[in-house]
Amino acid sequence: MPFEFQKTKISGVMIVKPRIFPDERGFFMETYKKSDFESAGICADFVQDNHSYSAFGVLRGIHFQKASHAQGKLVHAVEGSVWDVAVDLRPSSPTFKQWVGITLNSEEGTMLYLPPGCGHGFVVLSHTVHFLYKCTTEYAPQADGGIRWNDPDLAVAWPVDHPQVSEKDAALPFFSEVSL
């Protein structure tokens, strides 16, 4: 099995560790295989791939798409490292409003799968990061949602004191104001 899957405290949020095959040329790893993911309970059909590039201290998120446009995401850093957060935004979930955070770096190739219904954000830990992710639904700006990164109810323990947040993200609503 080229992947190791690890559950987190949030239902459906899975840590995925690919098997790396190093040799004198460099390395090879599989970063997704439908049959292995389905065997681990991740039955996701990905329809869009994204790539973002950010500098140290940049914080993107906490974002989500609403209702039928809710996105499952398989995220990883292909160069550099981030501290990545999944927030459970499913009111019926026993871990509603809870979050998990994990460092994703390109050396280990560790990935995080977030099911639809989770908010997602990350802050860059390395000088720069190339961040790639697969999504289970296409971009739907009309369904865009977000929560302020430093929402006191969520109290996400970001490991960077003064992150660089875009004007748009700095103006996102607090959890108490959000319509899910």
Ligand X SMILES: Cc1cn([C@H]2C[C@H](O)[C@@H](COP(=O)(O)OP(=O)(O)O[C@H]3O[C@H](C)C(=O)[C@H](O)[C@H]3O)O2)c(=O)[nH]c1=O
Residues in contact with ligand X, shown as a per-residue x/- string from 11 to 40 under the rule CB under 6 A? ------------------------------
- Residue 50 binds ligand X (CB under 6 A): yes
Contacts (CB under 6 A) with ligand X, residues 58-77? 60-61, 63
Q: Which residues pair with 29 in a beta bridge?
A: 20
Structure tokens at 68: 């039928």
Q: Among the options 32, 63, 76, 113, which is catalytic?
A: 63
Contacts (CB under 6 A) with ligand X, residues 89-128? 120-122
The burial of 75, by beta-carbon neighbours within 10 Å (0-12 exposed, 13-18 middle, 19 or more buried), is given as buried
- Are the C-beta atoms of 57 and 29 separated by less than 8 Å? no
Write down the least CB distance from residue 82 to ligand X, Å. 9
* DSSP, res 141: G
Q: Which of 141, 131, 13 is nearest to 65 (CA)?
A: 141
Which one, 21 or 139, has the nearer CB to ligand X?
A: 139
Structure tokens at 7: 């559950």
Annotated catalytic, 76? no
- d(CA 99, CA 118) in angstroms, rounded, equals 9
Write down the least CB distance from residue 165 to ligand X, Å. 10
Residues within the interface to ligand X (CB under 6 A): 50, 52, 60-61, 63, 120-122, 139
Would you name the residues annotated as active-site residues?
63, 133
